[in-house]
Every structure is written in structure tokens, then in C-alpha cells.
Structure 1
Amino acid sequence: MKIALFGATGGTGRAVIDLALKAGHQVTALARHADKLAPKVGLTVLQGDAMVSKDVVRTLADTDAVVVALGNSQNAFALLFGARRTTPRDICEAGTRNILAALGDGADRSVVVVSAFGVGATRNKLPFMFKLFYRLILREQIADKERQEALLRASNANYVVIQPVALTDKPASGKWTATPDGTLGGSEVSRHDLAAVILSELTVKTNTRQTISLSG
């Protein structure tokens, strides 16, 4: 499988690259800072930006599947207190809009998008303290995810949205809880387990146009 990856330099993107290459897939990764990704067999890194349509188009060329792991990895507290912004506040929305436009109507490529638990249909399933944290600290980031998911629902793309709970860099456990109704297991999940679920969804294509909640 040839996978187009957006959000490649983040923790989830790196986990997807490692697992995909180990499984024998090829990955074309778009990155604003291509030098952050070490050369690997099977990995093609393109210098560019998901905010730029032509960069998205060339990333998608000759690929079979798409992983969208866009997000803002800047410290949310620092942004609130005026830190210089290095990632656009609408990176998920604008990047996904460009990806959907490049795929075109009726595209049959599988698209897996990483969102966050507590967005959209799972909003009301968040514990009160998490709702408060989202509202006060992550308001900008969650609003971007909300708009991203709305774009997907309005499209006819063959997508799966995965909404993980708190992500960690712990080793893969090989165990997780993935549900379509927001039911959770643990309060955190490893990015490496998330990568395994992403690749599984790209391969089996069983949950088209659905949202999956992912926890430990």
C-alpha cells in the first residue's frame, strides 16, 4: 500500500511511518520541516505545507490511502500567554479542505483522520473537568477539530475518524478499546497502538464514514 501522510513530524505521524514501513508499505510524507524526518527505505519526504493546495496534490499523487494526523503541537498554555505562533490556528480545517479538494468527488481512497475524543458526537461524553480544560485551554485546537470533522461529514470521502483519548509515547501494548459509540476503556492510549489501528482501518476498510473512539 502507498500511503500519503499529513502531519508526519508529530508523534502520531512518526509512529505511523515506523509501523507502516515495518509492514512493508510505502509512505509519502508532507512536512514543513523535511529535515526532521530521517531517511528510511520506503519513505519519501516532501518539503511543503498542507495549507498549500499544490503541495497536497503532489503528496497524494500515486497513493492508495491517506492518513491525516494534522494538529498543533505547540504548548497550549504558551499560546494563551502570547507565544509566537508556529502553526496556523486552522491547520486541521484548512489542511483537510485541501486534501478533500485534491481527492475530488467520489474518490475511493481510504482516508483515516485523527481527531480527539470529545469532538462532535462524543462532546457530551467528556467528564466535566475535561470539558472545562477544553473550553479554557484547548478551545482553539478543539474548534479546529470540530470544523475539520464537519468538512468530512459534508464530503463524500471514504473516511474514518479516530478520536483517541490522551495520547502517550509509551511502547505499544497491543491492546486497546475501539468503539463507535464513545464507550471508553482506559484514560490514555499509546501513539503506537493508535498507529496500529490506523493501518488496520486503511487495510480492512470496514468502518467507512464512521467515527471510532480509541482508548487503552
Structure 2
Amino acid sequence: MKTIVFGATGGTGAAVIRLLRAEGDDVTAFVRNPARLTDQANVALVTGDVMNPADVAAAMPGHDRVVISLGNSQNPFALLLGAKRTTPRDVCETGTINIIAAMQAAGVRRVVCVTAFGIGATRTKSPLMFKIFYSLVLREHMADKERQEAALRASGLDWTLVQPVGLTDQPATGTYTASPTGALGKQTMGRADVARYIVTALADPATIGQSIALSG
């Protein structure tokens, strides 16, 4: 299998790449800045901007599966205080729309996308403190993720939405809750465990068309 990962320099995307390589997959990392991908061994690099449809379309042919782990890495508090924006406010929505179009043109169907717990089907299941934090601090980020999910649901592709809770860099535990009904375990989860679920879901047709809430 040949898998292309968008958002490859983030913690979750990088963890997915490590696991796919360990399982013998051919992996392509789509990145804006190759220098930010710290471990480039046995990875095909494509430099491009996910906001540019032509860059995404050129990278897609020849792949069997897609992982989308886009996000806004800017400090949300800094943005609230007027910091200069370095990531487009619609990076998840527009980037995903470009990926969908490229997949459709290249005949690629399977995609697993990381969104967030607290949107879509899990919106009503978030703890009160999550809802307050999202409303006051992450309103823009969560709205972008909502639109991203809507685009995938309407795409006609074989999609799976992965909705993790608060992410940490703790080592993989191999123990987590993956729920299609939004059931919640712990309120944090390591990126390494999220990556393990993504790699598992890619090969599991039973997850197609599902939103999976992930928690520790």
C-alpha cells in the first residue's frame, strides 16, 4: 500500500508515518517545509501547500490511501491577543476540499481524517469545561474542523473521521477507547495511540462512513 500523509510535520502525522513505515508501507509526506520533518528515512517527500489545489493534485496520483492530519499550530491565546496569523483560518476546510478533489480526480477513495472531539456527533457529549474552552478560545479552530467534516461527509469517498480528545506526547499505551457513539474515557490521549488507531482504521473497512471518538 502507498499512503500519503497531509499534516506530516505535526505530532500525529509524524507518528502515523513512523507506524506505516514499520509495517512496510510506502509513505509520502506532503509538507510545506521539509526541514520540519525530523525523520525523513524511507519517506518520499513532496513539497507543496495544501491550500494550493495544483500542488495537491500533482501529489495524489499513485497513492492508495490518504491520511489528513491538518491543523492550526498557532497558539490560540496569541491569536486572541492579535498575533500575526501564520496559518490560514480555514486550513482544515480548504485543505481538505483540495485533497478531496485530488482524490476524486486520481481515483483514490480511502481517507482517514483527524478532526476533534466536541464537534459533529460528539458536540453534545463534551464535558462542560471542554465546551467553555472551545467557545472562548478555540471557536475559530473548531469551526474550521466542523466545515472539514462536512466536506468529507459530502465527498462520496470512503472516509473515516477520527475525533480525539486533548492530545499529549506521552508514549503509546495501546489502551484507549474508540467509540462510534461518542463514548468518552479519559479526557486526554497520546498522539502515538491516536496514530495507532489511524493505521488500524485505514485497513478496516468497517470504519468507513463512521465518526470515531478517541479517548484514553
When the two structures are superposed, what TM-score results if normalisation uses the length of structure 1? 0.96
In the aligned structure 1, how far is the partner of 2:129 from the partner of 2:167? 17
Structure 2 gap segments, 5+ residues each = none
The Cα offsets for residues 116-160 of structure 1, whole Å up to 9 and x where unpaired, read as 000111101111111111011000000000000111111101000
1:120 aligns with 2:116: no
Give the C-alpha shift of residue 35 in structure 1: 1.3
Equivalence for 1:140: 140
1:198 aligns with 2:198: yes
In the aligned structure 1, how far is the partner of 2:124 from the partner of 2:157? 26
Give the C-alpha shift of residue 39 in structure 1: 5.4
Equivalence for 1:81: 81
The Cα offsets for residues 165-212 of structure 1, whole Å up to 9 and x where unpaired, read as 011100000111001000011111110111111011111222111100
Give the C-alpha shift of residue 69 in structure 1: 0.2
1:130 aligns with 2:130: yes
Structure 1 gap segments, 5+ residues each = none
In the aligned structure 2, how far is the partner of 1:202 from the partner of 1:22? 15
1:188 aligns with 2:209: no
1:161 aligns with 2:161: yes
The size of the alignment, in residue pairs, is 216
When the two structures are superposed, what TM-score results if normalisation uses the length of structure 2? 0.96
Contact map agreement 1:25 1:42 (CA 8 A) in 2: no
Equivalence for 1:12: 12
Contact map agreement 2:201 2:207 (CA 8 A) in 1: yes
Local SS of the residue matching 2:197: helix
1:57 aligns with 2:39: no
Give the C-alpha shift of residue 97 in structure 1: 0.3
Q: Residues 39, 162 of structure 1: CA spacing in aligned structure 2 closer, same or farther, 3 A cutoff? A: closer
Equivalence for 1:2: 2
Give the C-alpha shift of residue 105 in structure 1: 7.4
1:47 aligns with 2:43: no
Contact map agreement 1:116 1:163 (CA 8 A) in 2: yes
Equivalence for 1:149: 149
Equivalence for 2:213: 213
In the aligned structure 2, how far is the partner of 1:46 from the partner of 1:170? 29
Contact map agreement 2:115 2:145 (CA 8 A) in 1: yes
Which range moved further: 35-44 or 147-156?
35-44
Give the C-alpha shift of residue 106 in structure 1: 10
Give the C-alpha shift of residue 42 in structure 1: 2.6
Contact map agreement 2:61 2:106 (CA 8 A) in 1: no
Equivalence for 1:37: 37
Q: Percent identity?
A: 52
Contact map agreement 1:115 1:164 (CA 8 A) in 2: yes
Q: Which amino acid aligns with 1:160?
A: T
Contact map agreement 1:9 1:31 (CA 8 A) in 2: yes
Runs of 4+ in 1 over 2 A off after TM superposition: 38-42, 105-109
In the aligned structure 2, how far is the partner of 1:167 from the partner of 1:99? 24
Give the C-alpha shift of residue 93 in structure 1: 0.2
Q: Which amino acid aligns with 2:7?
A: G
In the aligned structure 2, how far is the partner of 1:25 from the partner of 1:112? 16
Q: Residues 107, 122 of structure 1: CA spacing in aligned structure 2 closer, same or farther, 3 A cutoff? A: farther
Give the C-alpha shift of residue 108 in structure 1: 5.2
Contact map agreement 1:12 1:192 (CA 8 A) in 2: yes
Give the C-alpha shift of residue 70 in structure 1: 0.3
